[in-house]
Amino acid sequence: MHLSMYTDYALRALVFVALRPEGELSTIKEISDAYRISKNHMMKIVNQLAAQGFVESVRGRTGGIRLSRRPEEIVVGDVVRTTEAEFKIAECFAPDGAAACCLTPACLLRPALAEALSAFMSVLDDYTLADVIKPRRSLAALLNLPLPAPAVHTG
Amino acid sequence: MHLSMYTDYALRALVFVALRPEGELSTIKEISDAYRISKNHMMKIVNQLAAQGFVESVRGRTGGIRLSRRPEEIVVGDVVRTTEAEFKIAECFAPDGAAACCLTPACLLRPALAEALSAFMSVLDDYTLADVIKPRRSLAALLNLPLPAPAVHTG
């Protein structure tokens, strides 16, 4: 059982972009280099993330992408629902799946699997991008990004 | 996101066998014909179900397979854990996955995904084969199996 690599990289792209200081841009090349995948593949992913309003693009020579909402407002479950092409837990979940298995009209496996999938997504709905990037300095170091300034305690 | 076809067919094979009157045997050919998959593929699946103690084989010309436990004792989650080759929700869940993504040492996506997977399996642990085959007469009819006798109310 697995999520698609597409979803996997979409989440990683959001982590990368979220670790940049607010408003600063990341290029597709930087993100694809960091995760060692093709620029073309990352371009497709970023275009979908932009179409769904998770990131926004700034055009031009010094352009790039940045989050279009605060990390606290980006729910992991919502990202997965956007990027995962199909939630075909079993054959009967496909659009034409009912025809594929003769059990479908009376099957109780299907609702059990649907309930399990719902429990899976419900956990991911409890996490935002802000939760995921909490080890901010460690993650930035792993991605060779400039380290965020440590929190300053005043008073 | 999906389970493997292998798991899908393993569950269907158990449904078929469980719908036979107690102790009666089913052949691999009957099961593979019912679900229109190759006999070889079904043979592999049944061998694994036998190795894990879900079904038992009776050899010989009139041989076949039957459940080796009561349907109430076969937990759907246990079957899925047996037949699903890998629970690689994301790349970092593979045996060599930690090396595949540079975020792994500090990543909080991984524990979130692990928690989601655990919620998924926990639902499947609430269902037994007996729950799944409750519409017994409808399922038997869909599989062209002899219909079980209707419940007789005495007294």
Q: DSSP letter string over chain A? A: -B--HHHHHHHHHHHHHHHSPTT--B-HHHHHHHHT--HHHHHHHHHHHHHTTSEEEE-STT-EEEESS-GGG-BHHHHHHHH-S---SSGGGSTTHHHH-TTGGG-SHHHHHHHHHHHHHHHHTT-BHHHHT-SHHHHHHHTTPPPPPPPPPP-
Q: How far is CA B132 from CA A42, A56, A111, B28, B126, in A?
A: 42, 46, 9, 21, 11
Average pLDDT for residues A84-110, to the nearest whole number?
Answer: 82
Judge whether A85 is closer than 8 Å to chain B, CB to CB. no
How would residue A155 be classed by pLDDT, with cut points 50, 70 and 90?
low
Work out the mean pLDDT of chain B and round it to a whole number.
90
Residue A99 has pLDDT above 90, yes or no: no
Of the candidate ranges A18-22, A138-142, B111-115, B125-129, the one whose mean pLDDT is the lowest:
A18-22
Share of chain A above pLDDT 70, in %: 94
A155 to chain B, minimum CA–CA distance in Å? 31
Which distant-in-sequence residues (6+ apart) come within 8 Å of B72 by Cβ?
A: B128, B129, B130
Tens digits of per-residue pLDDT, B83-95? 987 778 888 887 7
Query: Which residues in chain B have Cβ-Cβ distances shorter than 8 Å to A103?
Result: 12, 15, 139, 142-143
Q: Which one has a higher pLDDT value, A153 or B62?
A: B62
CA atoms within 13 A on the CB side of A119: 18
A83-97, A132-146, B6-20: segment of lowest average pLDDT: A83-97
pLDDT tens, position by position, A54-93: 999 999 888 999 999 999 999 999 999 999 877 788 888 8
Alpha-carbon Rg of chain B, whole angstroms?
A: 19
How far apart, in whole angstroms, are the C-alpha atoms of residue B48 and residue B85? 12
Mean pLDDT in residue range B115-142: 95
Which amino acid is it at B101? Answer: C
One-letter amino acid at B144 equals N
pTM of the predicted protein model: 0.89
By C-alpha distance, the chain B residue nearest A89 is: B2
pLDDT at B155 over 60: no
At residue B151, the pLDDT reads: 62
What number is the average pLDDT over the span B46-61? 94
At B153 the pLDDT is: 66
Confidence of residue B54 (pLDDT cuts 50, 70, 90): very high
> A43-52, A55-64, A76-85, B141-150: which has the minimum mean pLDDT?
B141-150
* pLDDT value of position A61: 86
Average pLDDT of every residue of chain A: 90
CA distance B155 to chain A (A): 31
Contact check, Cβ <8 Å, B108/A102: no
Average the pLDDT over A101-120 and give the result.
92
Residue B140 has a pLDDT of 93
pLDDT surpasses 70 at B66: yes
Q: What integer pLDDT is reported at residue B2 of this predicted model?
A: 81
pLDDT-wise least confident of A39-48, B63-72, B92-101: B92-101
Structure tokens, B143? 């599989």
Indicate the pLDDT class of residue B50, thresholds 50, 70 and 90: very high
- pLDDT tens-digit profile of B20-29? 987 789 999 9
Indicate whether A95 pLDDT > 90.
no
For chain B, helix (H) and strand (E) counts, in that order, are 8, 2
Nearest to B2 among A88, A121, A124 (CB): A88
| CB proximity A135 to B under 8 Å | yes
Lowest mean pLDDT among A83-87, B111-115, B146-150: B146-150
Q: Which amino acid is at A59?
A: R
Domains and CATH numbers, chain A: 5-85+128-142 (1.10.10.10)
pLDDT of A97 reads 65
